[in-house]
Amino acid sequence: MVAMGGGGDEEVEEYLFKVVIIGDSAVGKSNLLSRYARNEFNLHSKATIGVEFQTQSMDIDGKEVKAQIWDTAGQDRFRAVTSAYYRGAFGALVVYDVSRRSTFDSVARWLDELNTHSDTTVAKMLVGNKCDLSSIREVSVEEGTRLAEAEGLFFIETSALDSTNVKTAFEIVIKEIYNNVSRKVL
């Protein structure tokens, strides 16, 4: 999705990309998004209802690049989200909880679903969230790294609670999308 917007004398290039967040229930998807978009964290957040996406801008090469970041709106509870959710997505954050191994074991299934439904090249980031819970960690950094390498994904550990790497996680994905699209245009 590349849109050209006129701004008086100068042509302002604007980009808008859809990014989806997927992963098991309660891994912290909604909190990663609220931390990134509004710098907010909820200790007792309920299943996401209502808000389906947040739009966030960043500057790359002097261009305004906007990401429309979609949250599953509670559909993750049914282990599968609808194909409409994935449609047009250029980037994805596949999230697990480092303190719950079952959520790491689910990553392969989420990737399958993403690959089945995606209609373009998708920049993918494997995200091990809740890295602040080091005392009850069940998945090591090495395991995350290995899986990401095997699947050709970027990898990062985050904490929506203390903000570790949250901005970086989203920005790496958005930059990669921008690079993918620029490469295609040139």
Q: Give contact residues for ligand GDP (rule: CB under 6 A).
A: 25-31, 42-45, 48, 129-130, 132-133, 159-161
- Within a 10 A sphere around the Cβ of 118, how many other Cβ atoms? 18
Q: For residue 44, what are the CA distances in angstroms to 41, 62, 133? A: 9, 39, 16
Residue of 48, 129, 159, 165 interacting with Mg ion (CB under 5 A): 48
Specify the length of the chain in residues.
186
Contact in structure between 141 and 107 (CB atoms under 8 Å): no
27: helix, strand or coil: coil
And the tokens for 185? 């245009």
Least distance in angstroms from the C-beta of 133 to ligand GDP: 5
Closer to ligand GDP by Cβ: residue 27 or 181: 27
Least distance in angstroms from the C-beta of 2 to ligand GDP: 30
Least distance in angstroms from the C-beta of 169 to ligand GDP: 11
34 binds Mg ion (CB under 5 A): no
Q: Which residues of the chain form contacts with Mg ion (CB under 5 A)? A: 29-30, 48
